[in-house]
Amino acid sequence: MSKAPTLSIIVPCYNHARFLPERLKSISEQSFGDFEIILLDDASTDNSQNVLQAYADQEMRVSATLFNDENGGCVNEQWRKGVRIAKGDFIWIAESDDVATPDFLQVLLQQFKSFPEIGMAYCDSMIIDDAGIELGGYDYSHSEYQNRWQGDFVLDGKTFIKEHLVFRNVIPNASAVVFRKENLKAALSESNMKYCADYQCYTRLLSNAAIAYVSKPLNFFRAHIHTTRWHSQQSYAAAAKEKITILKEIKRLNIPQSTENLVKSCRWLFKHRHKFKRLGNLITELHARVDSTDKVALYGFNDISGYVLEAFSPHLQFSVIIDKKSSVADKKGIPIKTLSTSLLADIDVVVVCSFNFKEEMCSNLNKQGFKGRVITV
């Protein structure tokens, strides 16, 4: 009987044929090689299954190919399917459109040797576009503990939940993570979440295990317009409902000194609930009317422009944020400037980020002679 591999790599795919060769190459070239590969496809309509099968025919470490006849649309079910047949003690969910450095597995598996209390280890990620061009690192500036990510750390799981996950998912994407299988299997209990399945999984896993972080960017997260999760009115509202479910699960953990942060997070969701529908409509319109080559200005330095940046950076070219007062400060590297004709000269699209003053702001754009497209909430 052959020895079981140390790690199982699960590659869930849906319509990523053009990205698969680079992803699969980065798997085969890992410096740590004691693994099996499980290839999954959720009824892709492109050439993905042919690409996966060709790879399986020449890569000896592929142990299974599971192709769905119908699209299931559930991230967790694909993960569960792979975990059920995985033979390794550790799991890497290698999303089919991402890429890893050759030392990704070697570095993250070392964390489990050094810190046996951890159930998952993840690394910093670089964001890349469709062509593989680097667009920058993951933004942790929203966190009260943003300096934490400047170096490696190990943190008790419940502390990580209390200080970070109670507010938002601060793990860039699943491709950046290696899991201990026994912990992941327990966390992947039945869940039909469509938008926050990974978020829920991390929260459940860390209720019983610690987490390690490596500050070196070993993962390249493909950010293209089709990966934006909250791109319609329905999905934006559904994601908010899923987050409420996660917060209820966190509350049941009875983590010491977590009540204040839970209340803050719930209050934020309640305060902004009326915006979800309008923001969903706005994001739907941006998908339909704005191209990745357009130069876009956000009119209004507020939480609405923050939502748009969150949903679309770095898919769209945000050139400037327009506000009443210019500032030496910026938002995600985008300058904040006052409205002027010269400022608008090179802008193709202005997104008006205000509910209450949009008529006045549209009038201001007309006075400045702006001839491009104007999108409002």
Q: What is the CATH number of the domain that holds 323?
A: 3.40.50.720
Q: Domain ends where: 200, 227, 254?
A: 227
Q: Is residue 314 in a domain?
A: yes
Q: Is the peptide bond before 335 cis (omega within 30 degrees of 0)?
A: no
Q: Is residue 327 in a domain?
A: yes
Task: Tell me the CATH number at 147.
Answer: 3.90.550.10
CA distance 297 to 319: 6
Of residues 235 and 331, which shows the higher confidence score? 235
The answer on pLDDT for 24 being more than 90 is: yes
Q: Is residue 329 in a domain?
A: yes
Residue 66 near residue 37, CB atoms below 8 Å: no
Domain count, the chain: 2
Residue 216 near residue 176, CB atoms below 8 Å: no
Do both 204 and 307 map to the same domain? no
Do both 135 and 59 map to the same domain? yes
- Domain hosting residue 361, numbered range: 274-376
pLDDT digits (tens, 9 = 90+) for 285-319: 787 888 878 899 999 887 677 777 776 766 677 88
CA distance 204 to 199: 9
Q: Is residue 119 in a domain?
A: yes
Q: Is residue 371 in a domain?
A: yes
Residue 273: strand, helix, or coil? helix
The residues facing 296 across adjacent strands are 318, 349
Extract the tokens encoding 129.
Answer: 């576009």
Q: Domain ends where: 194, 210, 227?
A: 227
DSSP 250: H
**What's the rounded mean pLDDT across residues 190-196?**
79
CA distance 260 to 29: 46
Q: Is residue 133 in a domain?
A: yes
Q: What's the chain's average pLDDT?
A: 86
Long-range contacts from 306-314, C-beta under 8 angstroms, 24+ separation: 306/331, 307/275, 307/279, 308/282, 308/283, 308/351, 308/353, 309/334, 311/228, 311/230, 311/231, 311/283, 311/286, 312/228, 312/283, 312/286, 314/127, 314/129, 314/135, 314/136, 314/223
Residue 210: strand, helix, or coil? strand
Of residues 98 and 279, which shows the higher confidence score? 98
| R_g over Cα of the chain | 22
The answer on pLDDT for 101 being more than 90 is: yes
- Single-letter amino acid, residue 148: R
Which segment, 16-30, 65-79, 266-280, is predicted with the most confidence on average? Answer: 16-30
**What's the rounded mean pLDDT across residues 47-63?**
96
pLDDT digits (tens, 9 = 90+) for 129-184: 777 888 777 777 666 777 888 999 999 999 999 999 998 888 988 999 999 999 99
The answer on pLDDT for 92 being more than 50 is: yes
Residue 10: strand, helix, or coil? strand
Do both 175 and 291 map to the same domain? no
